[in-house]
Amino acid sequence: MLRFMTAGESHGPALTAILEGLPAGITVDLKQINTDLARRQQGFGRGGRMLIEKDKAEIMSGVRFGQTLGSPVTLQISNRDWANWQERMSQFGKPAGSMITAPRPGHADLPGILKYGRNDVRDILERASARETAARVAVGAVCKELLAAVDIKIGSYVVNIGGVNAQAVPESYEDLLKRRQQSELGCIDPEAETKMKAVIIEAKEQGDSLGGIFEVVAYGAMPGLGSHVQWDRRLDTKLAGALMSIQAIKGVELGAGFACANLPGSQIHDEIYYDSNRGYCHHTNNAGGIEGGITNGEPIIVRAAMKPIPTLMKPLLSIDISSKEPLKANTERSDVCAVTAAAVVGEAMAAFVLADALVEKFGGDSIAEIMKRVTEYRQYVRKGSSDCG
Ligand SMILES: Cc1cc2nc3c(=O)[nH]c(=O)nc-3n(C[C@H](O)[C@H](O)[C@H](O)COP(=O)(O)O)c2cc1C
Ligand SMILES: C=C(O[C@@H]1CC(C(=O)O)=C[C@@H](OP(=O)(O)O)[C@H]1O)C(=O)O
């Protein structure tokens, strides 16, 4: 079983993740991790913090001479901004600066202070902040290395921002990367991107914020990851939970998703074919690569909807938690739109879920064992025989 935990506050010294259960022998490339961390910082509409940070991972355990050891991998990302927050975020000093008492609608502020019995909203927002997702992206980048060893590749792209829809669909992983390269928003439809930028500029001018939708696609997954036998072993359960765990994600769809509800079965279900090169296959993929909680060999397609950023420069009404008087919600430096960043986090979470499913199915304490078993299994699947060797 693969598992990870993160720790760290948005303006604390660092973000940390411990990833446990990785087989030994996976190549770990800091450059790859840092490339994903840099992608997470990008996106038209991000706030001033992105000008301060230059996220880089340090590996504190579990890797020797560029390979995993099978022991827990600890990843750490320092917060450059910590230098400006040491007093306000002091672990043992006296409270410095004024308290935040105007919770923002849509953020963890109000439920958080009630649940944890705090009277300064900062005690909540520091950990609720999506700064934490930098640690998840580092974890995902390591999981991608495991998946790449068995030819599974994950990409993502933005398909909607503030109601502006992109029309393009990538033909392959390589096509996705190529078309995304030119984009500032992680979108593969340049016409839509121009309109997306315009609505972001407009929202910023209005003191408003925007959400949107991104799609994550995993190419090359073999049939048989996940299981139908128990609710919590279904791969769709795990993917939906993982994507929904990202701050501000409010909806997750697999394949045709909600559109399935509007069409008859004859137009939704993917007919089954057999091809001696590929084994069983489909000419459509409305299932999004998962049937009965198990991968069916087609690309895995998950979509997630992000709500608009809660911090508004023209704030909504709130209540002062000390006086109970109405007032405007707290404003502070903020993103206007972070769908591009959320897509990179979505990739990371999907990579983690698939890496876990791979380790569950193929076991193995070393990547060599996994690769050998995957090769044999792929041969068996191509033959389409019930003899699994
Ligand atoms: C990459 C990313 C960046 C975000 N940036 C901000 C931000 O700058 N300001 C803000 O108020 N919310 C931001 N959010 C959203 C909040 O973190 C989120 O709405 C909050 O944690 C409440 O959680 P919930 O939306 O899941 O209920 C961001 C989310 C993501 C994924
Ligand atoms: C505020 C939130 O997340 C943001 C995500 C974020 C990052 O690195 O992604 C950095 C933080 O920067 P700042 O110092 O400007 O607060 C947050 O802005 C939030 O999620 O509530």
Q: Tens digits of per-residue pLDDT, 7-17?
A: 999 999 999 99
Atom of ligand 2 nearest to the CA of 52: 14
* Residue 247 Cβ < 6 Å to ligand 1: yes
Using the mean position of ligand 1's atoms as its centre, give its distance from the Cα of residue 248 in Å: 5
Q: What are the binding residues for NADP(+)? A: 40, 46
Mean pLDDT of 51-70: 97
Distances in Å between the alpha carbon of 331 and those of 19, 224, 362? 35, 48, 49
Question: What residue owns the CA closest to ligand 2's atom 10?
Answer: 131
Question: What residue owns the CA closest to ligand 2's atom 2?
Answer: 129
Q: In whole angstroms, what is the distance from residue 103 CA to residue 178 CA?
A: 42
CATH topology of domain 3-383: Chorismate synthase, AroC fold (3.60.150)
CB atoms inside a 10 Å sphere around CB 61: 14
Using the mean position of ligand 2's atoms as its centre, give its distance from the Cα of residue 134 in Å: 10
Structure tokens at 308: 């608009």
* Residue 121 Cβ < 6 Å to ligand 1: no
Structure tokens at 164: 């502006």
C-alpha distance across the termini of the chain, in Å: 24
Check: CB of residue 249 under 8 Å from CB of residue 216. no
Residue 388: pLDDT over 60 = no
Q: In whole angstroms, what is the distance from residue 388 CA to residue 96 CA?
A: 65
What residue ranges do the domains of the chain occupy? 3-383
Question: What residue owns the CA closest to ligand 1's atom 12?
Answer: 309
Looking at all shown ligands, the one closest to residue 245's CA atom is 1
- C-beta contacts of 322-331 below 8 A and 24+ residues apart: 322/99, 322/101, 322/119, 323/101, 327/102, 328/102, 329/102, 329/103, 329/104, 329/105, 330/100, 330/102, 330/103, 330/104, 330/109, 330/121
Atom of ligand 1 nearest to the CA of 249: 26
Burial of 283 (0-12, 13-18, 19+ CB in 10 A): exposed
pLDDT-based confidence at residue 351 (cuts at 50, 70, 90): very high
Looking at all shown ligands, the one closest to residue 134's CA atom is 2
Q: Indicate left, alpha or beta for 363 from its phi (over 0: left) and psi (-120 to 50: alpha).
A: left
pLDDT-based confidence at residue 93 (cuts at 50, 70, 90): confident
Using the mean position of ligand 1's atoms as its centre, give its distance from the Cα of residue 2 in Å: 26
Mean pLDDT of the chain: 96
Q: In whole angstroms, what is the distance from residue 37 CA to residue 344 CA?
A: 9
Question: What is the pLDDT at residue 128?
Answer: 98
Rg (CA), the chain: 22
pLDDT tens digits, residue range 24-40? 999 999 999 999 999 99
Q: Is the ipTM of this complex over 0.90?
A: yes
Using the mean position of ligand 1's atoms as its centre, give its distance from the Cα of residue 305 in Å: 13
pLDDT tens digits, residue range 159-193? 999 999 999 899 999 999 999 998 999 999 999 99
In 3D space, the residue among 228, 225, 43 whose CA is nearest the CA of residue 147 turns out to be 225
Using the mean position of ligand 1's atoms as its centre, give its distance from the Cα of residue 133 in Å: 10
* Residue 348 Cβ < 6 Å to ligand 1: no
Residue 389: pLDDT over 50 = no
Residue 71: pLDDT over 80 = yes
Question: What is the pLDDT at residue 386?
Answer: 62
What one-character-per-residue DSSP string does 16-77 give?
EEEEE-PPBT-B--HHHHHHHHHHHH--TT--THHHH----EEEEESEETTEE-SSPEEEEE
pLDDT tens digits, residue range 239-289? 999 999 999 999 999 999 999 999 999 999 999 999 888 899 999 999 999
* Residue 331 Cβ < 6 Å to ligand 2: no
Distances in Å between the alpha carbon of 118 and those of 98, 112, 126, 313, 385? 14, 8, 13, 25, 61
Phi/psi at 223 (nearest 5 deg)?
Answer: -65, 145
Phi/psi at 381 (nearest 5 deg)?
Answer: -65, -40
pLDDT-based confidence at residue 96 (cuts at 50, 70, 90): confident
Record the pTM: 0.97
Question: What is the pLDDT at residue 97?
Answer: 80
Using the mean position of ligand 2's atoms as its centre, give its distance from the Cα of residue 247 in Å: 11
